[in-house]
Amino acid sequence: MARTRTQGEDFTFVNPVVKYLLFLFNMLFWSIAMVMIAIGLYARVMKHAEAAMACLAVDPAILLIVVGALMFLITFCGCIGSLRENICLLQTFSICLTLIFLLQLVAGVLGFVFSDKARSKVSEIIDSAIVHYRDDLDLQNLIDYGQKQFSCCGGISYKDWSHNMYFNCTEENPSRERCSVPYSCCLRSKEKVINTMCGHGMQDLDYLAAEEYIYTNGCIDKLVNWIHSNLFLLGGVALGFAIPQLVGILLSQILINQIKDQIELQKYNSQHRADPWY
């Protein structure tokens, strides 16, 4: 006996709410990605070529460009895939978001389990940043901001600034900043006239003498203590990053299933179009 049409079978369609919600979702982050890339490129172009190449690995502008480019490509797939109802692009978008989410999850777990190695890696990054402190204005401002916010100086201690060619204490160093530390290491003064040279010669002093003028504790310990005392805040930030990714994955999968259902229905209708009982 010929198969009769099931009621409601012709009403399978792609929900426009899901389609355009996913499109707007990706359009928002696509715009953010373009702004990040533009800011990163502008920061790179405005730097001197020698300085830009010297601190390539610790340049905040490079981080903006890389993250922005990655976000641009992923959201581009989401935008075009949702607008054109392209399963291949939507699956690429969904897989990329899933991989990023899993990598973030694995990185968080590994950072917690292997906290000593993570601390060592952070120490290497900070040491590299100290070495290139005068080579990159963006990096310099970032370090100064961190030292002021955490009331710290250097990586492990204020003497880490000897790793920088301008601040090291060797006799051969002709710099006027020899054996000094940056102004951001100085204790906040209540005087009306700010003494920007308060860090001069501080590396020659021992801890007890130096702590009257500058922060002597390193930023690594301060950062670790801040993380331990702000776990709920960091958890909220992590959740804030995770929710958009999960929403994107969920919407893309719903849209993919709706498109597949529509394709299957069209195939079924075309196969039974000649059937008079259909």
Least confident range of 7-21, 35-49, 253-267 = 7-21
What's the token pair of residue 162?
A: 């000897």
Position 57 in a domain? yes
Q: Per-residue pLDDT averaged across 118-122, rounded? A: 78
Identify the pLDDT of residue 8.
42
pLDDT value at 92 more than 90: yes
- Which residue in this structure is represented by tokens 């049409």? 5
Q: Per-residue pLDDT averaged across 144-163, rounded? A: 91
Query: pLDDT tier at 76 (50, 70, 90 boundaries)?
Result: very high
Position 221 in a domain? no
- Taking a C-beta distance cutoff of 8 angstroms, is the pair 218, 153 a contact? yes
- Taking a C-beta distance cutoff of 8 angstroms, is the pair 169, 162 a contact? yes
pLDDT value at 257 more than 80: yes
Q: Per-residue pLDDT averaged across 164-171, rounded? A: 90
Q: Per-residue pLDDT averaged across 95-102, rounded? A: 93
Query: pLDDT tier at 273 (50, 70, 90 boundaries)?
Result: low
More confident site: 120 or 165: 165
Position 179 in a domain? no
pLDDT averaged over the chain? 83
Identify the pLDDT of residue 24.
92
Q: How many domains does the structure of the chain reveal?
A: 1
Identify the pLDDT of residue 275.
56
- 118-134 exposure pattern, b = at least 16 Cβ within 10 A, e = fewer: eeeebbeebbebbbbbb
Identify the pLDDT of residue 233.
84
Identify the pLDDT of residue 48.
55
Work out the burial of residue 196: count CB atoms within 10 Å of its CB; fewer than 13 is exposed, 13-18 middle, 19 or more buried: exposed
Position 147 in a domain? no
Position 39 in a domain? yes
Q: Domain containing 94: what range?
A: 9-137+235-271
Residues β-bridged to residue 157: 217
Identify the pLDDT of residue 47.
65
**By percentage, how much of the chain surpasses pLDDT 70?**
86
pLDDT value at 10 more than 80: no
Side chain identity, residue 144: D
- Taking a C-beta distance cutoff of 8 angstroms, is the pair 199, 193 a contact? no
- Taking a C-beta distance cutoff of 8 angstroms, is the pair 111, 118 a contact? yes
pLDDT value at 4 more than 50: no
Q: Per-residue pLDDT averaged across 188-193, rounded? A: 66
Q: Per-residue pLDDT averaged across 121-144, rounded? A: 86
Position 246 in a domain? yes
Q: Per-residue pLDDT averaged across 34-63, rounded? A: 71
Query: pLDDT tier at 57 (50, 70, 90 boundaries)?
Result: low
Position 174 in a domain? no
pLDDT value at 55 more than 70: no
Position 176 in a domain? no
More confident site: 52 or 40: 40
- Which residue in this structure is represented by tokens 């204790």? 187
More confident site: 194 or 168: 168
Q: Per-residue pLDDT averaged across 88-112, rounded? A: 89
Can you give the length of the chain in residues?
A: 278
Q: Per-residue pLDDT averaged across 29-54, rounded? A: 76
252: part of which helix (H) or strand (E)? helix 231-271
Query: 10 Å Cβ neighbour count for 211?
Result: 16
Query: 10 Å Cβ neighbour count for 135?
Result: 20
pLDDT value at 165 more than 50: yes
Phi/psi at 186 (5° precision): -75, 150
pLDDT value at 1 more than 60: no
The number of angstroms, rounded, from the C-alpha of 220 to the middle of its chain's C-alpha atoms is 19
What's the token pair of residue 259?
A: 């498109």
